[in-house]
Amino acid sequence: MNRLWYKKPAYDWNEALPIGNGRLGAMIFGTPKGERFQLNEDSIWYGAPVDRINPDAHKNLKKVRELILAGEISKAEKILLYAFSGTPQSQRPHQSAGDLFINFEHGENVSDYKRELCLDNAVHTVSYSVDGVKYIRETFASFPDDVIVIRISADKPASISFSCLMTREVFYDRTWAVSNDTIAMDGNLGKGGIKFCAMAKVVAKGGKSFTMGEHIVVENADEVLLLFSEATSFRHKDYEEKCEKILEKASKRSYNELLSRHIADYKMLFDRVELYLGGDNSLDLVPTDERLAMMSEKGLDKGMASLYFQFGRYLLISCSRPGTLPANLQGMWNKDMSPPWGAKYTININTEMNYWPAETCNLSECHEPLFDLLERVAENGKVTARKMYGCKGFVAHHNTDIWADTAPQDHWIPGTYWVMGGAWLCLHIWEHYEFTRDKAFLKRMYPVLKSCVEFFDDFLIEDGGYLVTCPSVSPENTFILPSGERGCNSSGVTMDNEILNDLFDAYINASMILETDKDYAEKIKGIKAKLPPIKIGKHGQIMEWREDYEEAEPGHRHISQLFALHPSWQITPDKTPELARAAAATLERRLKYGGGHTGWSCAWIINMYARLWDAENAEKNLLKLFTNSTLPNLFDNHPPFQIDGNFGAAAGIAEMLVQSGKGRIVLLPALPKAWSEGFVRGLKIRGGAEIDISWKDGELQKAAIRPQNSFSAVVCYKDVRQEVLLEKGKAFEFTAGTK
């Protein structure tokens, strides 16, 4: 059953439940007497754009490189700290939009309380009784009408009386009554920053409603519709007028019309995929928080695994829709004015992880906001590349923000001076193309892809017969030199080489498909051939750096050297068995020393074990995610809350059931023994097709592939391999007995 439900209100933000339409969001507490909606809007970011490029970077680049190549790491890092850090050091943070409070005038004697979030229709419901009256509050965030809709009803006439107001902790200028049914709040987000306006409008049946001061007051109504929206100067010069028009237009529709439009839009995305993993249906009668806690003693709850998968899809639909900003470190559900890590876009894995389920889980449209941001990043990154490194093309470091800032973030030796953020983002261009075969999209994004390649054409330096990045880091780890000295910055870092392998391949393939830049593509083939190979170290592990250094923290949360295993396809159990064994040894060593202790890291490990076709370890780490890193509302816990673990684990469950890469479709590659019976419908595979898979007693029953494009592939199940030509619009069926 696709719902989260609870027998008590949320007394903490980590218990509240999220709704969103991509642009607007809210965390709902469900308190009977005094309801709180903690509000978010995707463009509520503090501050204005600023040129943060350090003017001393380029003049010190040669010296830094000389010191790194000479092994003088501490001297190089001192220069990096002063000359390469952004000025100022930090980009802009996302902020809470404030709160909407509703104070109900009914008694305290509450019974039959229940709150739930239905994933099938994206509607949040609170129900309870007070003094013989049953109250129901239904809330959803509508994408087609661009509003948050709250309906308050009771089973006895004239039972609804309340007041409501909006407030914000800081950075708002005024609250006022726009009319006798609408209140507003506006302000600005720092000097020269974004301006915003939020409004709430009431439509009451029966009784009376009016505004007084900054409040809306409702007395003795039969039913009330409360509409909320917000607009900012990031998108609209006339943001206040825009906000009022949105509410006025929505208020002309009935609740049923608003609801039906919302559900039709949402289900068009959500209903594409169905997952059943078996399990005890009676557990659906156990509240979600209690059910989550039970896994510490009883092991993985298969029904909860399925729910968590669909919750991840729900969250992506709710915080990343065409025309909105992409999902940030907290999706967009952020309660703070100065949130952890600024709730920015951390692009040394976290933002990329947010979009791992976009294609496999059949939500390609939800990927679009990332590409909109990437186009802006590429433009700003050209300036950063030229000023910092004297290079063509564009570069981005390990963070960006609403303004697509590309200068280094923080004065932080383990993470700041990493030039691969833009490159990793560009791999999503090829990922989207592989799943959709959308040639028009590839043509649109080709200049961005080429610009990124041009940067590394200039930036790479020759050392020991290889072309290497320098300076760079293996995010966000620290090595120990033979002298005992610790360092982070190096040259030719393994992850860099792995990303560049995929970047250059993507560019070469795009050039061929679009029939352009043939000579330049040939040049890039030559550069790719001179990248350092993946090497195995003294512990039997994939080496993280060019030298087989010891790690200061062997159980580090980042496992960057295994990028080649996932999300890349450079390491696979059947094509590169020796490297696959080394990847398994790397994971074993990380976990031995406490790795996977953050939610997103554990989610990445699920994907890695799935790619190694190691079902039991994938399941083991999924259980670990539930028991160690999942909050009562099923949000991922870093700690604190980060949404990447939700998205990464949803993608990981899909990877356990089907993998498509390197021209292969691998069926049930990491199916745990405990998942003995089940089915999945509507996952996407590379080449452009949907797939349905069913299994029983741990064995494949049937796989049906529905191609949207024509392409060739090898379908694999255990020892069976079948080469097939999949034809557009013509279903293909593979059964356990297929030879």
Asked if 538 contacts 554 with a C-beta cutoff of 8 angstroms, the reply is no
The answer, yes or no, to whether residue 739 has pLDDT greater than 90, is no
Average of per-residue pLDDT across 187-205:
96
Query: What DSSP string runs through 665-698?
Result: EEESTT--TT--SEEEEEEEETTTEEEEEEEETT
Which helix (H) or strand (E) segment holds residue 425: the answer is helix 421-436
Q: Give the pLDDT confidence score for residue 280 in this predicted structure.
A: 84
- Res. 169 pLDDT band, cuts 50 70 90: confident
3-class secondary structure, 699: strand
What CA–CA distance (Å, rounded) separates 191 from 203?
36
The answer, yes or no, to whether residue 172 has pLDDT greater than 90, is no
What CA–CA distance (Å, rounded) separates 146 from 253?
13
Does the pTM of the predicted model rise above 0.85? yes
The answer, yes or no, to whether residue 237 has pLDDT greater than 60, is yes
Q: Give the pLDDT confidence score for residue 736 in this predicted structure.
A: 73
What CA–CA distance (Å, rounded) separates 461 from 531?
10
The answer, yes or no, to whether residue 279 has pLDDT greater than 90, is no
Q: Which two tokens stand for residue 42?
A: 């995707």
What beta strand segments (E) does 233-366 contain? 274-276, 345-346
Tens of pLDDT, residues 527-542: 999 999 999 999 999 9
Tens of pLDDT, residues 541-592: 999 999 999 999 999 999 999 999 999 999 999 999 999 999 999 999 999 9
Asked if 300 contacts 623 with a C-beta cutoff of 8 angstroms, the reply is yes
Higher pLDDT, 282 or 444: 444
The answer, yes or no, to whether residue 404 has pLDDT greater than 80, is yes
Asked if 144 contacts 254 with a C-beta cutoff of 8 angstroms, the reply is no
The answer, yes or no, to whether residue 631 has pLDDT greater than 60, is yes
Q: Give the pLDDT confidence score for residue 693 in this predicted structure.
A: 98
Tens of pLDDT, residues 672-729: 999 999 999 999 999 999 999 999 999 999 999 999 999 999 999 999 999 999 999 9
Side-chain-side CA neighbours of 3 within 13 Å: the count stands at 18
For the chain, percent of residues with pLDDT exceeding 70: 100
Q: Give the pLDDT confidence score for residue 737 in this predicted structure.
A: 67
For the chain, percent of residues with pLDDT exceeding 90: 98
Tens of pLDDT, residues 294-337: 999 999 999 999 999 999 999 999 999 999 999 999 999 999 99
Using the 8-state DSSP alphabet, how is residue 658 labeled?
A: E
Omega before residue 476 within 30° of 0, cis: yes
Tens of pLDDT, residues 91-128: 999 999 999 999 999 999 999 999 999 999 999 999 99
Using the 8-state DSSP alphabet, how is residue 222 labeled?
A: S
Q: Give the pLDDT confidence score for residue 178 in this predicted structure.
A: 96
Q: Which two tokens stand for residue 20?
A: 């969103």
Q: Parallel, antiparallel, or unpaired for β 208-212 and 215-221? A: antiparallel
CB atoms within 10 A of CB 448: 22
- Res. 165 pLDDT band, cuts 50 70 90: very high
The answer, yes or no, to whether residue 260 has pLDDT greater than 80, is yes
What does pLDDT average to over the chain?
97
Q: Give the pLDDT confidence score for residue 1 in this predicted structure.
A: 81
The answer, yes or no, to whether residue 434 has pLDDT greater than 70, is yes
Whole-number Cα distances in Å, 508 to 380, 411, 479, 587, 712:
24, 36, 34, 32, 20
